[in-house]
Chain A
Amino acid sequence: MGSEGAFKSTIAEYLEDLPAQFCQQLFTKPAACLAIFRLLSTLGKHIIMSMLYLDAPIELTDVLQWAKPGKTKSFKSKIHRLRKLRILVENSGKVSLDPMFRQELRNALTGGGDFGSFGIPATTRDLRITEAWLEKYANEKWEAILHFMVGQNAEMPQPSDSVLHILKMSRLMERREGDMRITNSGFQFLLQDVSSQVWTVLLQYLRLAEDQNMDVVEVLNFLFQLVGLQLGIAYRTDRFSQSQRKMLSELKDFGLMYQQGDVFYPTQLVTSLTSAMNAEHTSNNGQVSTTEMSADGYVILETNCRVYAYTSSPLQIAILNLFVHLVSRFPNFVTGVITRDSIRRALSNGITADQIVTYMTVYAHPHMRNQMPVLPITVTDQIRLWENERNRLKPTASYFYKDFHQRQDFERVYKYAEDLGAILWCNIEKRQIVVTPAAHVVIMQYVRGHRKPEQRG
């Protein structure tokens, strides 16, 4: 699934690539520690929690003894990840938690530490702003952006400049013939669940901040603080620094929060970021666990490839239209057929078969979920076959050798290349070989090295 490469970089990977001193600064905030902790895998969390109240370092071999036989491998990889994140420190065979991280995670659990690290709630609030209202507000904002991406913005106002800028920077959209057009990665973006979409945007925002020479640690700390806020509570902005206010006003355009004077209300887009979807597991394969199933499923897929979707949302219809040949539309419901052409159109837009299957599984109608697997196998297999059909040709950079004068020359090079495992194609009768670019340099040296004695002789 090479085409998913654009989204492979998750927040966890981003953190791994941060320089050490940045991590240290990040760990000084309890909110950041808690948010990072929640992004880890279950086993990683367990390792941290087991060591959180140990004061002395313990032997790495002892830690590995916790695992049952056969599970040691995944245990080791988790420990390696924690070390890459600089949460775990190893010193001559003994491991311990990073002292700063340990201190601040303890603070997060016990309520010690800095004043206002989890936001400063406002004393007065607008009673009209309820959790339901915020949810509606955030969904409208977010869907407006997605609508804009699908190009159904006739009645919708255009998103703000900062939103457009981020969409363009992340190559989800590009400017073509004066218009903003959605790109291949944009199509993939649409098929992700909301929480991965928000992470994608936030990561892009981080990269943008780097380019603008903003303090990355401050941006990260601010983001993690937002993640730790509670839905439905008003928070004060008056203690925010200048740059934090700027970030607030930029992120506001995505519907991540609602601002009213010097008070803001985080929405579920940001408060649920560390839940449900584990950022470490974003788009790793087409498998969907039941927890990710959205509550408002609407798609019914039959074994004869017919699709019935109980929706009136133009956005959902537009997304379905990416890979379904829509036939008829009713006030609350659309029907369509999955055909070879409709799937091939989607594939040529860069959408993978797995993404299509995942999308339909996540948004499957509640009636569909009683069956196992959720989607009819005939259809999912067919979609994958249609994808394989397109992959019959694979372009690879290569070097083509031909016109060998002597049969021995050819055979020597052929044998050498074969030993390297570099032959992509060959025709022995015509004395032609195609090799990989990596091997080309080595083979050229080999050929030169052998030509000289021949010339002498």
Chain B
Amino acid sequence: MSEAAEPEASLLVVVLDTNTAAWERCPLQFDRALQQVVIFLNAYLALKPENKLAVIATNKSECRYLYPTEFTDETTIPEMQVYEQFRDVDTKVLTGVQKMIESGSMSSDTPAGIEQGQSQVSRALSKALCYINRGTKASVNKIWPRILVVSVADDAPREYIALMNTIFAAQKLGVLIDVCKVVGSDSVFLQQAAEITGGNYLKVDTQENRGSLLQSLMFTCLADHFTRSMLYSPHNDLIDFRATCFCHKRVVDIGYVCSVCLSIFCKMAPVCSTCKTKFSFKLVRAPSAANGTSAGKKKPPVN
């Protein structure tokens, strides 16, 4: 047999966006979508008994682990027709989401800068990376980590810096990030996340076909590292790699970059708001007094 060695187990962290405001805009109802995600989780666990799973839910004000959790519901007698491992995950995810929505509707303390239809994806991703780091270190055998983001909310410009940092951390750790955007416009940030880490970005058009979320997840996001090396993946050429400026959170084509900390600004500023460096205008202006524009150096276009 010329086949490569059988692949090792995977560690999948699913980041589930439970932002109710965003789901309301979605033609696919949230509970239906949740059912499909749960089936996908079961399918993932069915692939290999050693496969590890974690589910993190996020909304506009918080993010928490749904699975694994310490909480066990001792009162329920195990259902008879469900595979034990699936039942455990299913109940924890479903009750966890329910609790989160209940507590979310009561409290209204949203962090500044996050709007109604936006979620704290970067927080959830950082949590996921921490979990993966712990999981891969603790495991004796090699385990392949990856993250799946099921996203509905719009990009929150406030999150840009944190999100980019997590993406590069994931790239360094060798963690793939798959993104499944269910509703709304393409997420520029998450597209970059998938592209940089080598994952798949997938926009599911739920309007046309109601079952297509599950089918897309099964087809694109279920494959492990080994299978991905043998299959074509949906590729996206039109990815917006433009950066967002740190001062007004606007997407910029050409901006100003701090020469010390590489923060990006859309307008010239005397002091870098990130590292508090005072730019010495005289020094810069002296050789290039003729054009007299840039405070720092111009950001080269990124491809």
Q: Which residues of A contact B231 (CB under 8 A)?
A: 46, 66-68, 71
C-beta contact mask, A35-64 vs B, less than 8 Å → 1, else 0?
A: 001100111011001101110000000000
Q: Find out whether the CB atom of A228 lies under 8 angstroms from the CB atom of B6.
A: no
For B84, the closest partner residue in chain A by CB is A230
Q: Find out whether the CB atom of A108 lies under 8 angstroms from the CB atom of B83.
A: yes
Q: Find out whether the CB atom of B81 lies under 8 angstroms from the CB atom of A290.
A: no
Q: Is A293 an interface residue (CB 8 A)?
A: yes
Other than A108-B83, A230-B85, give 18 A-B pairs with Cβ distance below 8 A: A38-B49, A43-B227, A43-B230, A49-B222, A50-B222, A66-B232, A67-B230, A74-B230, A108-B46, A111-B83, A113-B81, A115-B81, A117-B80, A118-B83, A120-B80, A274-B49, A276-B50, A293-B141
Q: Is A34 an interface residue (CB 8 A)?
A: yes
Q: Find out whether the CB atom of A109 lies under 8 angstroms from the CB atom of B6.
A: no
For A55, the closest partner residue in chain B by CB is B211
Given contacts A46-B227, A295-B140, contact A109 B39 (CB under 8 A): yes
Interface stretch among A278-286, A385-393, A420-428, A445-453? A278-286
Q: Find out whether the CB atom of B218 lies under 8 angstroms from the CB atom of A49.
A: yes
Q: Find out whether the CB atom of B140 lies under 8 angstroms from the CB atom of A275.
A: no
Q: Is B7 an interface residue (CB 8 A)?
A: yes
Q: Which residues of B contact A230 (CB under 8 A)?
A: 84-85
Q: Is B82 an interface residue (CB 8 A)?
A: yes
Which residues of A are interface residues toward B (Cβ below 8 A)? 30-31, 34, 37-38, 41-43, 45-46, 49-50, 52-54, 65-68, 71, 74-75, 107-121, 123, 228-230, 233, 272, 274-276, 278, 281, 284-285, 287, 289-291, 293, 295
Q: Which residues of A contact B267 (CB under 8 A)?
A: none
Q: Which residues of B contact A295 (CB under 8 A)?
A: 140
List 18 contacting pairs A-B, 8 Å CB cutoff, sorted by A: A34-B46, A41-B3, A53-B211, A67-B231, A68-B230, A75-B230, A109-B39, A109-B43, A111-B82, A111-B86, A112-B81, A113-B81, A115-B81, A121-B77, A121-B78, A272-B49, A276-B49, A290-B141
Q: Find out whether the CB atom of A289 lies under 8 angstroms from the CB atom of B49.
A: no
Q: Find out whether the CB atom of A290 lies under 8 angstroms from the CB atom of B142.
A: yes
Q: Find out whether the CB atom of B46 lies under 8 angstroms from the CB atom of A275.
A: no
| Chain B interface, DSSP helix/strand/loop, else mixed | loop
For B36, the closest partner residue in chain A by CB is A53
Shortest Cβ distance from B45 into chain A, in angstroms? 9
Shortest Cβ distance from B93 into chain A, in angstroms? 13
Q: Find out whether the CB atom of A42 lies under 8 angstroms from the CB atom of B39.
A: no
Q: Find out whether the CB atom of A110 lies under 8 angstroms from the CB atom of B49.
A: no
Given contacts A67-B230, A111-B90, contact A42 B83 (CB under 8 A): no
Given contacts A53-B214, A293-B141, contact A67 B81 (CB under 8 A): no
Q: Is B237 an interface residue (CB 8 A)?
A: no
Q: Which residues of A contact B102 (CB under 8 A)?
A: none
The complex places the Cα of A285 from the Cα of B5 at a distance, in Å, of: 11
Q: Which residues of B contact A287 (CB under 8 A)?
A: 5
Given contacts A66-B231, A68-B231, contact A278 B81 (CB under 8 A): no
Shortest Cβ distance from B212 into chain A, in angstroms? 9
Shortest Cβ distance from B274 into chain A, in angstroms? 43
Given contacts A109-B42, A285-B1, A287-B5, contact A50 B83 (CB under 8 A): no
Q: Which residues of B contact A54 (CB under 8 A)?
A: 215
Q: Find out whether the CB atom of A289 lies under 8 angstroms from the CB atom of B46.
A: no
Given contacts A53-B214, A115-B80, A287-B5, contact A38 B226 (CB under 8 A): no
For A110, the closest partner residue in chain B by CB is B39
The complex places the Cα of A56 from the Cα of B80 at a distance, in Å, of: 31
For A284, the closest partner residue in chain B by CB is B1
Shortest Cβ distance from B193 into chain A, in angstroms? 23
Shortest Cβ distance from A196 into chain B, in angstroms? 14
The complex places the Cα of A230 from the Cα of B82 at a distance, in Å, of: 11
Q: Find out whether the CB atom of A110 lies under 8 angstroms from the CB atom of B84.
A: no
Q: Is B9 an interface residue (CB 8 A)?
A: yes
Chain B interface residue count, Cβ-Cβ cutoff 8 angstroms: 45
Query: Contact check: which of B2, B43, B80, B232 meets A116 at CB < 8 Å?
Result: B80
Q: Find out whether the CB atom of A117 lies under 8 angstroms from the CB atom of B218.
A: no
Q: Find out whether the CB atom of B232 lies under 8 angstroms from the CB atom of A111.
A: no
Q: Is B223 an interface residue (CB 8 A)?
A: yes
Q: Find out whether the CB atom of A42 lies under 8 angstroms from the CB atom of B49.
A: no
Q: Is B178 an interface residue (CB 8 A)?
A: no
The complex places the Cα of A53 from the Cα of B211 at a distance, in Å, of: 8
Given contacts A34-B83, A52-B218, A66-B232, contact A278 B6 (CB under 8 A): yes
Shortest Cβ distance from B46 into chain A, in angstroms? 6
Q: Is B297 an interface residue (CB 8 A)?
A: no
Q: Find out whether the CB atom of A118 lies under 8 angstroms from the CB atom of B6.
A: no
For B142, the closest partner residue in chain A by CB is A290
Shortest Cβ distance from A51 into chain B, in angstroms? 9
For B216, the closest partner residue in chain A by CB is A53
Q: Find out whether the CB atom of B6 lies under 8 angstroms from the CB atom of A291.
A: yes
Q: Find out whether the CB atom of B230 lies under 8 angstroms from the CB atom of A118.
A: no
Q: Find out whether the CB atom of B6 lies under 8 angstroms from the CB atom of A281.
A: yes
Q: Which residues of B contact A278 (CB under 8 A)?
A: 6
C-beta contact mask, B200-220 vs A, less than 8 Å → 1, else 0?
A: 000000000001001100110
Q: Find out whether the CB atom of B3 lies under 8 angstroms from the CB atom of A111.
A: no
The complex places the Cα of A276 from the Cα of B78 at a distance, in Å, of: 26
C-beta contact mask, B51-84 vs A, less than 8 Å → 1, else 0?
A: 0000000000000000000000000011111111
Shortest Cβ distance from B90 into chain A, in angstroms? 7
Q: Find out whether the CB atom of B80 lies under 8 angstroms from the CB atom of A121.
A: yes
Q: Is B48 an interface residue (CB 8 A)?
A: yes
Shortest Cβ distance from B25 into chain A, in angstroms? 25
The complex places the Cα of A272 from the Cα of B80 at a distance, in Å, of: 20
Given contacts A42-B227, A293-B141, contact A37 B8 (CB under 8 A): no
For B44, the closest partner residue in chain A by CB is A49
Q: Which residues of A contact B173 (CB under 8 A)?
A: none
Query: Contact check: which of B6, B81, B85, B218 meets A53 at CB < 8 Å?
Result: B218
The complex places the Cα of A119 from the Cα of B80 at a distance, in Å, of: 7
Q: Which residues of B contact A52 (CB under 8 A)?
A: 43, 218
For A281, the closest partner residue in chain B by CB is B6
The complex places the Cα of A120 from the Cα of B211 at a distance, in Å, of: 32
Query: Contact check: which of A42, A112, A118, A285 meets B84 at CB < 8 Å?
Result: A118
Q: Is B224 an interface residue (CB 8 A)?
A: yes
Q: Which residues of A contact B140 (CB under 8 A)?
A: 295
Q: Is B87 an interface residue (CB 8 A)?
A: yes
Q: Find out whether the CB atom of B7 lies under 8 angstroms from the CB atom of A290.
A: no
Q: Which residues of B contact A65 (CB under 8 A)?
A: 232
* B117-145 with Cβ < 8 A to chain A: 140-142
